[in-house]
Amino acid sequence: MNVQKAVINIKDREKVIAMVEANNGFITSAEVTKAGLGRRILSSLVETKQLYRVERGIYALPNAWEDEMFFLQYRFSKGIFSHETALYLHGLSDKTPARYTMTFPHGYKGGSAKESGIAVKNARIYDLGIIEMPSPCGNPIRIFNKERTLCDIVKGSNACEIGIVNTAMKTYAASSDKNINRLIAYAEQLRVKPKILKYMEVLL
């Protein structure tokens, strides 16, 4: 019986390692459970130094690059990378953000996120324009698309520095993948249509 268990454990460990290698060197305990495998395998792999525990629920190969954005996305699953962070990731700004910005549903307190150094924003219209894209390290993160991001950066008290906004708008207007109809539709829903139109009338 013990031999059979050992064989099963070896096969399961190999399955987990294969999953990690296929996922850029990372795996979450939730992914292991979803695959029908026991989370105790992760502890076993940590003990044999085949994986290391990055933080609660996230494990990585010893040679994997640490992906802070991916870790933050896992810890704060309701957070969407937005504002200056999204501008940078979309190539609409060359200014590296001093800290990551994430938008959460209206009413989210965000105490633990703020303690982790995240600039927390709240939005009543939360689901509009969410997409998935690779982080700089290649792992999937959720981010607002270009059009939603442009609307967010000109909105009220959340407005960025004027230089950042101007650069972002010019870069977007010159891009081949711009979607002006979507931008205007988003601007209307987010109540920033006059501001967006003012930029587009000058740039297009």
Confidence of residue 138 (pLDDT cuts 50, 70, 90): confident
117 close to 99: Cβ distance less than 8 angstroms: yes
pLDDT at 160: 67
176 close to 146: Cβ distance less than 8 angstroms: no
- The pLDDT of 189-202, averaged and rounded, is 94
Domain 2-60 fold: Arc Repressor Mutant, subunit A (1.10.10)
How far apart (Å, rounded) are the C-alpha atoms in residues 151 and 199? 11
Q: Is the backbone of residue 138 left (phi > 0), alpha (psi -120 to 50) or beta?
A: left
Confidence of residue 189 (pLDDT cuts 50, 70, 90): very high
pLDDT at 6: 45
Please state the separation of Cα 176 from the chain's center in Å: 24
Say whether 77 sits in a helix, a strand or coil.
Answer: coil
Please state the separation of Cα 31 from the chain's center in Å: 17
134 close to 141: Cβ distance less than 8 angstroms: yes
Global confidence as pTM:
0.81
CB atoms within 10 A of CB 171: 18
Kindly tell me if the per-residue pLDDT of 18 is higher than 90: yes
Kindly tell me if the per-residue pLDDT of 139 is higher than 90: no
Q: Report percent pLDDT > 90 for the chain.
A: 67
- The pLDDT of 70-94, averaged and rounded, is 94
How far apart (Å, rounded) are the C-alpha atoms in residues 169 and 200? 8
How far apart (Å, rounded) are the C-alpha atoms in residues 31 and 60? 13
Residues forming CATH 1.10.10 domain(s) in the chain = 2-60
How far apart (Å, rounded) are the C-alpha atoms in residues 168 and 81? 16
CA nearest 85: which of 152, 33, 139, 22?
Answer: 152
